[in-house]
Structure 1
């Protein structure tokens, strides 16, 4: 997990590295903290990707609305004002 203290310590070691240099122990600590930080970032990305919800999975049209949400009426065989051309509706159904 990425905490404020973790980021502050990584930054403090980076500043010291640029000015006075790091001892071997500090270099090891810096390496360990950076690995911990990257592990946290990777976990956040994986979590975000796992929470993506695809609209297409719910039977939506190219306009982004589900077939049940459409309220505009169409003449038979015409494309909807939303640009939907999904062909999911029965030809006898005047509601798109």
Structure 2
């Protein structure tokens, strides 16, 4: 999870970018912070998806094989 300080910095740089523009150093910092933020979002989303179980009206597990395989792979890693 990304720290609150880093998230605040992302927002500060975004506002500054819109109002007055960023220096090259700030642009690089913004790019790196955004990259880290997106990595965390994708990881979190992937973890959520791997815990999903799809059940039809009759109670049968119809979870896609790809999700089941990913879940098994994640369990082996932990």
Asked if TM exceeds 0.5, the reply is yes
Deviation at 1:63, TM superposition (A): 4.0
The structure that has the greater radius of gyration is 1
CA distance in 2, matches of 1:36, 1:6: 9
Q: Which runs of 5+ in 1 are unaligned?
A: 57-61, 66-96
* Distance in 2 separating the partners of 1:17 and 1:54: 43
Number of aligned positions between the proteins: 60
4+ runs of 1 displaced by more than 2 Å? 53-56, 62-65
Q: Secondary structure at the match of 1:18?
A: helix
Q: Which residue of 2 aligns with 1:72?
A: none
Distance across 1 between alignment mates of 2:21 and 2:59: 56
Equivalent positions of 1:18-37 (< 5 A) are: 18-37=18-37
TM-score when scaled to structure 2? 0.66
What secondary structure sits across from 1:46 in the alignment? helix
How far residue 18 of structure 1 moved from its aligned partner, in angstroms, is: 1.2
Task: Compare 43-52 and 2-11 and name the one that shifted more.
Answer: 2-11
1 or 2, which has the higher helix percentage?
2
Paired residues for 1:9-24 under 5 Å: 9-24=9-24
State how 1:2-81 maps to structure 2 within 5 Å. Answer: 2-55=2-55, 62-64=57-59
- TM norm structure 1: 0.55
- For the residues of structure 1 that align with 2:54 and 2:19, how far apart are their CA atoms? 49
